[in-house]
Amino acid sequence: RWNGAQAVSFHAKSEQGCVLQAVLTLLETLEEEESILLEAFIPTAHVVRPGNSSPQPNLAVRICAVVCRSRKDQPLLSKVVCGVGRADKPLKHQATVPQTLESSLRQWGLKDEAQIAAIHAQIKQKAEAAMKAFMDMEDGLSVEQRGGRRAQTDIIGVDFLLSSEEQVLQLVALEMNSQLCLETCSVFESMGRVVGAPAGEAARPLVETMMRRAQCHLMEGKHVLVIGAGGVSKKFVWEAARDYGLKIHLVESDPNHFASQLVQTFIHYDTTDHKRDEEHAQRLLGLVQERGLHLDGCLSYWDDCMVLTALVCEGLGLRCSSPTAMRVAKQKSRTHLHLLRRRKEGARWPSAALYAVPCCHLESHTDVERAASHISFPGVMKLEYGAGAVGVKLVEDAQQCHLHFDKISRDLQDDSDHPGIGLGWGNAMLLMEYVSGTEHDVDLVMYEGRMLGAFVSDNGPTRVPNFTETAACMPTCLPPDREAQLIRAAYQCCLGCGLTDGVFNVELKLTASGPKLIEINPRMGGFYLRDWIQEIYGVDIMLASVMVACGVVPLLPARSRPRMHLVGVMCLVSQHLQALKSTASLETLQALHERGVIRLNLLDDELVSSEYEEPYCNVACASSSRREACLKLLGICQVLGIDSPHYPVAHFLSHFK
């Protein structure tokens, strides 16, 4: 009823009679629960323009900020525009022509870029704080007071003006409104279309939030069979499933696995011998039928179980890439040799064979001798079905190949020697040519062969000769054309292997002549990747993988703007045992994580050093710039004792420029 400024009036402090008359006039029109606000008039600051003696009009600037509820109920500033008008009259949204904050401040006399940036940062901080206060207030309301169980405020507008006190500019909040600021921003974006300005920025976070909530609602109560529980690094799966309201039915070889208490149904079944996956699949189909489970989807987050999962999905008629495609992707040499045999994909794209690397499968010393005569050195030896870089080594000649083959054949024979790295498939190896260049991960979301989303991260220099991961950053440092090359290569390699449905992690190197494939992990990216992608882009690839498995197309933001930069470093027990027991203890790291100083991803729960080790945890820092994130991380690693001459963090971060 009181929308706009029709009931607003300005009065001099000395004109008490006029103030009284204005109040009395308004009182006659008030209805129940309405009231009148009398407050001090705060003028817009007057900026003196040096060297400009011409008379300046007395103008006011109304700053209009739109704030949306984003992921995890965090307020996010989406747009700021301004209206300029006479200072002696109420400045209404509809009575001004919207323009950018930068244009308004420059027109007003502010030219300093740093000062303009500081004002924008202050607007962001205060507008988001206003939204947070509003959300906190709503949290204290009853369901009836809020308007329903799921009712909540997802967007507000906050109006500010710039005042000054003792020549210091101050931001003053005028009001909060539900639609006027959004309307003003829409008018601004509509005008900008004719000059190619981006559209939809004001409402984009709101729409993304609406879509996210709708997808969560759609998935609530879905019954999903998960094959293989994984280790501590997959603990988030069970927590997220609970939060999303998923009904998880877990198949796991370990009867005492901690996840057995966190799921709807626990099915103990030993799947460790993956050479018998066809037999396992038939047994699992029988167990599903015996228990009367009505499943909406079936998937796995564990490397070893991907082929078995595809076989079960095929038997249940559920969405998944084919067992053949999973087998091609699971065996590393088969992936490359399969792609090398492929011809041109069509008129538009080069063949996926461009991205494959010459390699040979190894099961005996005869195979090693033959491979050494065909592959150019230096080369890389690794387990055919391995994971986590366990058993990977740089080799310079045939003699080193034979020695490493002997060592792996002796040390890593079956799953009991090192659980969870693929030894249930055997300990066959491969030799492939070494490819120089920077290393990157591409996480793809695919449905019916269509790429719905792609997320690129950069890896720091690995620790030669074993290629253990050291550091990573996201978003990528690469220019757009090189990032596009990686995404296209990852997508073509997945399609070339027959992978059509799921979330896949593709490891590549970027050389001077373009991307080269390292390997395809036909499951969601591990370690910190799900957490980072969710934090930076607001996309949960874990939820996306469940949606694909249930035959629901995930709707992901189109090229969502990154909210931050994350840079992280791996901690290894062999390098950091002393620090992890003292300055960088788990309690210390968790406390720093809770305070927002670092972002911690725990990957193991035992401080045990071994020759074939995997990372214990990942410690990361966030910032609005990559450089600042690197500096913060380096400083923290020095304080915690993670940085050392034997583990030079500065060197590991040197690629991120």
Residue 413 lies in a domain: no
Which residue range(s) make up the domain with 581? 564-657
**pLDDT grade, residue 192 (50/70/90)?**
confident
Tens digits of residue pLDDT in 242-298: 999 999 999 999 999 999 999 999 999 999 999 999 999 999 999 999 999 999 999
- 126, 236: one domain: no
Return the higher-pLDDT residue of 381 and 43: 381
Q: Which of 192, 214, 236 is the last residue of a domain?
A: 214
Q: What DSSP string runs through 560-597?
A: PPPS-EEEEEEE-HHHHHHHHTTTT-HHHHHHHHHTTS
For residue 14, what are the CA distances in angstroms to 18, 19, 22, 90, 617? 9, 9, 14, 19, 67
The rounded distance, in Å, linking the Cα atoms of 537 and 563 is 6
Q: Which of 318, 349, 373 is the last residue of a domain?
A: 318
One-letter amino acid for residue 122 of the chain: Q
CB neighbours of 619 closer than 8 A, spacing ≥ 6?
A: 568, 569, 571, 584, 589, 598, 599, 600, 633, 636, 637, 640, 642
Helical packing angle, 204-219 and 541-549, nearest 10°: 50
Closest listed residue to residue 248, CA positions, set 218, 269, 220: 220
CATH number, domain of 616, equals: 3.30.1370
Q: For the chain, how many structural domains are there in total?
A: 4
- 650, 609: one domain: yes
Buried b (16+ CB within 10 A) or exposed e, 472-510: bbbbbbbeeebbebbbbbbbbbbbbbbbbbbbbbbbbbb
**Residue pair 194/567 in contact by the 8 Å Cβ criterion:** no
- 237, 168: one domain: no
Please tell me what DSSP assigns to residue 353: G
Which pLDDT value is given to residue 90?
Answer: 72
Tens digits of residue pLDDT in 554-609: 999 877 779 899 999 999 999 999 999 999 999 999 999 999 999 999 999 888 88
Q: Kindly give the residue spans of alpha helices, DSSP state H, lying in 51-199.
A: 101-108, 113-139, 143-146, 180-192
Q: Which helix (H) or strand (E) holds 66?
A: strand 59-70
- 148, 209: one domain: yes
**Residue pair 278/311 in contact by the 8 Å Cβ criterion:** yes
Which pLDDT value is given to residue 561?
Answer: 79
Q: What DSSP string runs through 464-529?
A: TTTTB--EEEES--S-HHHHHHHHHHHHHHHHHHT--SEEEEEEEEEETTEEEEEEEESS---TTH
Whether the per-residue pLDDT at 117 is higher than 70: the answer is: yes
- 63, 208: one domain: yes
- 73, 22: one domain: no
Residue 372 phi, psi dihedral angles, 5° rounding: -65, -25
Residue 531 lies in a domain: no
State how beta strands 429-433 and 438-447 pair.
Answer: unpaired
Residue 485 lies in a domain: no
Closest listed residue to residue 61, CA positions, set 174, 165, 183: 174
Residue whose pair of structure tokens reads 């890896």 in the numeric block: 459
Which pLDDT value is given to residue 47?
Answer: 62
- 8, 118: one domain: no
- 97, 188: one domain: yes
The rounded distance, in Å, linking the Cα atoms of 584 and 644 is 13
Q: Which of 173, 190, 214 is the last residue of a domain?
A: 214
Residue whose pair of structure tokens reads 């167990």 in the numeric block: 287
CATH number, domain of 268, equals: 3.40.50.20
Which pLDDT value is given to residue 199?
Answer: 78
Residue 273 lies in a domain: yes
One-letter amino acid for residue 78 of the chain: S
Residue 192 lies in a domain: yes
The rounded distance, in Å, linking the Cα atoms of 467 and 439 is 11
Angle in degrees, CA 433, 435, 441, rounded to 5: 120
- 88, 207: one domain: yes
Beta bridge partners of 163: 170
**pLDDT grade, residue 124 (50/70/90)?**
very high
Residue whose pair of structure tokens reads 């198949």 in the numeric block: 251
The rounded distance, in Å, linking the Cα atoms of 299 and 319 is 9
CB atoms within 10 A of CB 42: 14
CB neighbours of 606 closer than 8 A, spacing ≥ 6?
A: none
- 86, 160: one domain: yes
Q: Which two tokens stand for residue 88?
A: 């002696």
Residue 264 lies in a domain: yes
- 71, 167: one domain: yes
Tens digits of residue pLDDT in 397-452: 999 999 999 999 999 988 887 887 888 889 999 999 999 999 999 999 999 999 99
**pLDDT grade, residue 5 (50/70/90)?**
low
Tens digits of residue pLDDT in 215-246: 999 999 999 999 999 888 899 999 999 999 99
Please tell me what DSSP assigns to residue 261: G
CB neighbours of 505 closer than 8 A, spacing ≥ 6?
A: 441, 442, 443, 444, 520, 521, 523, 524, 525, 526, 529
Radius of gyration of the chain (CA): 30
CATH number, domain of 163, equals: 3.30.470
Q: Which of 6-15, 16-25, 219-228, 373-382 has the lowest mean pLDDT?
A: 6-15
Measure the CA dihedral 113/119/123/125, to 10°. 90
Buried b (16+ CB within 10 A) or exposed e, 597-629: ebbbbbbbeeeeeeebbbbbbbbbbbbeebeeb
Say if residue 161 is exposed, middle or buried (CB neighbours under 10 Å; 0-12, 13-18, 19+): buried
One-letter amino acid for residue 364 of the chain: S
- 147, 263: one domain: no
**Residue pair 297/317 in contact by the 8 Å Cβ criterion:** no
Q: By three-state DSSP, how is residue 145 classified?
A: helix
Tens digits of residue pLDDT in 335-359: 999 999 876 655 577 789 999 999 9
Residue 489 lies in a domain: no
Residue 432 lies in a domain: no
Mean pLDDT (the chain) is 90
